[in-house]
Amino acid sequence: MYGEEIRYKLELIEPEDYEKLQAFSCGNEPLDKFIHDELIEDDEVNDDALPYKYTDISNGKICAVVSLAASGISYKVDKYISVKPAVKIDIFAVDVEYQKMHMDKESEEAQDRDDHVYFADDIMADVLKRCRDMSEKMLMIKYIILYADVKALRFYERNLFMNFSKYMEKENNMEINKNYPMYLEL
């Protein structure tokens, strides 16, 4: 099966999704633990996030979990400090079953791995499109930011994210200090 064959829908995660989330695994143990144990607690969706699920329509399985948040990038040059408006991808997790699924036969047969396109790229493209739509229709967003796990750096670079410049300051947060701050300019 190829990614182009998968039809999916995007919906907010609800307390009723608890069991389906238990079957979800992105392969990142801390993130899986958060999704399994903290995203829904006591029949309530965690109010620190607004999490969405991408569901494979053919089998009802959650194939991705995504959460976006309003944010900004602190930009500092000498004594000049500015905050540039951004949206932060707080969670971007694709189930391991779908992560390395090629979009089509051409991608699968490509000799150069830079020519590989995966289902996860399609989900990311959908997230980026929604962010761009927000920036054009609802609010000013100049950047999309995220904090990448080292194992996902190549994925994000392939999707045009860049490392923060020397003038951009990353958040100081225990959970993300070991991750790499990245941005995409809209």
Instruction: Tell me if residue 123 falls in helix, strand or coil.
Output: helix
pLDDT value at residue 178? 79
| Domain regions of the chain by residue span | 3-185
pLDDT value at residue 122? 97
**Cα–Cα separations (whole angstroms), residue 144 to 32, 41, 88:** 23, 28, 6
Instruction: Tell me if residue 113 falls in helix, strand or coil.
Output: helix
Q: Residue written as tokens 């995504």? A: 66
Euclidean distance between CA atoms 87 and 73, whole angstroms: 9
Q: The domain 3-185 is classified under which CATH number: 3.40.50.360, 3.40.50.2300, 3.40.630.30, 3.40.50.300?
A: 3.40.630.30
Question: Per the confidence metrics, is the pTM higher than 0.85?
Answer: yes
Note down pLDDT in tens along the chain; length 186 residues: 899 999 999 999 999 999 999 999 999 999 999 999 999 988 888 877 789 999 999 999 999 999 999 998 888 888 888 998 999 999 999 999 999 999 999 999 999 988 999 999 999 999 999 999 999 998 889 999 999 999 999 999 999 999 987 777 877 765 666 788 999 999
Q: Residue written as tokens 């694709």? A: 94
Q: Tell me the two tokens of residue 33.
A: 């633990």
pLDDT value at residue 114? 86
